[in-house]
Amino acid sequence: MALFRTCRTATVQLRGFSSSSSLRVGPESPNFIDVPRSLQPDLPSKRIIKGTLPVPREIFPARRTDKPTQAYISAATPRPKKGKSPNPNDINYEYIEQKKRMANMRRKNLREGLLELHARKQATDTAMKLRSEQKQLYREKILQQPDREDVRLTRTSIVQEMLPQHMPVLPDPDRETRLRKARSRTQRKLANKVAERRHDMHDLYVNARNFIVNEEQLAAEIEKVFPEGVNEAWRSDHQEGVNIWNLGFPQGISSLASDSRKTESARWDTIQSRIRRLAEEITGGKM
C-alpha cells in the first residue's frame, strides 16, 4: 500500500522537444519554433467591404432655391385640419393621441432639420470657398516670389534676355503673313470648287438631252435595242451593230497596228476631240 501511495504522490516532470523550458506547446503548433519578430508591427490589412455606398442626394439643389424659405416649410409641414376632438372615453383615445404627437414631432423635426441643414451647408460652402481662396493666394505668392539670395548669387552668368520669360503665348512674328497666305489659299480652293461644280452642272444640262424621262422614250429605246424577232446580227461577232452584244469581234494589237485606216480614224478622232475641247474653253460652254 505504501508503494502504491508513493507512486501516486510522485511528481512527474514532462520535458518537451524544445530546448526552452518556458515553451509549453507541442510540435504541431506554429509557435513551436521561436521566430524573431520585427520591432515595427505590421499594419493590419484593409478590410474589403462588399458593395458600394450610394451617392448622397443633394438636399438643396440649385434649381430649388425655395427649400429653406418659410413658404416651402409651411407647405411641406401643413397643420392638421380642424376636426372633431376625440372623446377621452373612447378606447382608441390613447392611440389617436399618440398618432397626433408623432405627427407633430415629424413636422417639428422636418422644419428644424431643413433650417439646420441649410445653415450647415452655407457654413460648409463658406469654409470651402475660404480655403480655396487661401490656397490660390498661397500658390500665386509662391509663383511670384523672387529667387533666394543664395540661388541668385550662385547662378551661372546668363544674360537676362536669354533667361526664360514667363509669357502665356510665344511670340510669332510671321503670324500675319502665314494667315494671309492661308486665307488666300482657302479662297482659291473655294473658287476652284465652285467653278468645278458649275462646270459639272453645265455638263449635266447638256447631256440631259439624251436622258430617258418618260415611258414613251423607254419603250422606243427598248424597241431599238431589242427588236421583235431574232436579230440576225446577234448570230455572228464579225458584224457590228447597235447592240452591246453585236459590236463585232474584238481586235488584237497586231490588227490595230497594221490597219492604217483604223490608225487614221483614231488620229482623226483625237484631233476632233482636241478641237472640241479648245472650242469649249474659248466659248465657255459644252459643245
C-alpha cell at 131: 480655403
Do 36 and 44 contact (CB within 8 A), yes or no?
no
Q: Give the separation between CA 156 and CA 162, rounded to whole angstroms.
A: 12
Domain boundaries, the chain: 70-145, 182-230
User: Looking at per-residue confidence, does 165 or 142 come out higher?
Assistant: 142
User: Looking at per-residue confidence, does 268 or 165 come out higher?
Assistant: 268
Q: Is 47 exposed, middle or buried (0-12, 13-18, 19+ CB in 10 A)?
A: exposed
Q: Which of 144, 138, 281, 108 is nearest to 199 (CA)?
A: 281
| pLDDT at residue number 3 | 44
User: Looking at per-residue confidence, does 142 or 236 come out higher?
Assistant: 142
Q: Give the separation between CA 219 and CA 228, rounded to whole angstroms.
A: 12
Structure confidence at residue 241 as a pLDDT band (50, 70, 90): low
Do 202 and 209 contact (CB within 8 A), yes or no?
no
Average pLDDT taken over every residue of the chain: 80
| pLDDT at residue number 230 | 59
Q: Give the separation between CA 262 and CA 248, rounded to whole angstroms.
A: 15
| pLDDT at residue number 240 | 56
Structure confidence at residue 202 as a pLDDT band (50, 70, 90): confident
Asked which of 48-52, 152-156, 254-258 is least confident by mean pLDDT, the reply is: 254-258
Does residue 172 surpass a pLDDT of 90?
A: no
Q: Write down the H helix ranges in the chain.
A: 2-9, 70-76, 93-144, 149-154, 175-207, 215-225, 253-258, 260-283
How many other C-beta atoms can be found within 10 angstroms of the C-beta atom of residue 114? Answer: 19
Coil, helix or strand for 218?
Answer: helix
Highest mean pLDDT among 76-90, 153-167, 189-203, 215-229: 189-203
User: Looking at per-residue confidence, does 261 or 172 come out higher?
Assistant: 172
| pLDDT at residue number 242 | 58
| pLDDT at residue number 10 | 44
Section 62-69 average pLDDT: 89
**Alpha-carbon dihedral of residues 152, 157, 159, 163, nearest 10 degrees?**
-60
Does residue 173 surpass a pLDDT of 70?
A: yes
Structure confidence at residue 259 as a pLDDT band (50, 70, 90): low
Do 87 and 93 contact (CB within 8 A), yes or no?
yes
Q: Give the separation between CA 109 and CA 144, rounded to whole angstroms.
A: 52
Do 87 and 149 contact (CB within 8 A), yes or no?
no
